[in-house]
Homo-oligomer: A and B are copies of this chain.
Amino acid sequence: MSRPADPAAAAPAAPPARARTAATDSALLARLRVPARPPSLRIVRRTVREAALVAGADAAWADDLMLAVDEACQNVVRHAYAAAPETGDMVIVVRTHPPSDDGVTVDILDFAPAVDPTRVRGRDLDDVRPGGLGVHLIHAVCEEAGFQPPPDGAGNLFRLVKHFAKPPVDG
């Protein structure tokens, strides 16, 4: 990494690398980085499912979260990196959902060009066609799902939130 030749020229000084990497995110269950290619999805599924179980989920809940994350990662592999397939990685971060750890938040990061979120829409389910199901499956099993401003260095951040107990439905 390039640094100013004279450290004194940079004010305030950068913190030592150690402090930065050692910092622990107390909500972290697992952070996984894999190449954005189809075989990685099996690794993503194992990791996310087990992280959900560690968070206290039951098997059916963990299976649904795993499906949603798989679908979001498929979209990274197939669409986000479409212009240059299998050239980048994706990062999946699984955290307990604050404030009361009543669910799990999953961030899916890629390093591809920024996506136009308005173009990401599932198809009409009554129109039976192959494809266009991923977005529906994600919304069917997660309470929240959508693009967020990506952190520095990332291309896109897609965030899923799934609660352990569904909020009561009105009416």
| Residues on the B chain within 8 Å of A54, using CB | 39-40, 42-43
Contact, CB under 8 Å: A34 / B28: yes
A171 at the interface (CB under 8 A from B): no
Assembled-state Cα–Cα distance A131/B31 (Å): 30
Within 8 A of B (CB), among A1-59: 1-5, 9-15, 17-18, 20-22, 24, 28-35, 39-40, 42-43, 46-47, 49-51, 53-54
Closest-CB distance, A77 to chain B (whole angstroms):
14
Does A152 interact with chain B (Cβ within 8 Å)? Answer: yes
Minimal beta-carbon separation of A10 from chain B (angstroms):
4
Which chain B residues lie closer than 8 Å to A42 at the CB level?
A: 50, 53-54
- Which residues in B have their C-beta under 8 angstroms from that of A47? 30, 32, 43, 46-47, 50
The answer for the CA separation of A89 and B2 in the assembled complex, in Å, is: 26
Number of copies: 2
Residue of B nearest to A35 (CB): B28
Confirm or deny: A153 has a beta carbon within 8 angstroms of a beta carbon on chain B: yes
For A30, the chain B residues whose CB sits under 8 A away are 32-34, 40, 43, 47
Asked if B111 and A28 make an inter-chain contact with CB atoms under 8 angstroms apart, the answer reads no
Most B-side CB within 10 Å, residue of A46, A53, A153 = A46
Closest 3 CB pairs of A and B: A21-B153, A22-B111, A46-B46
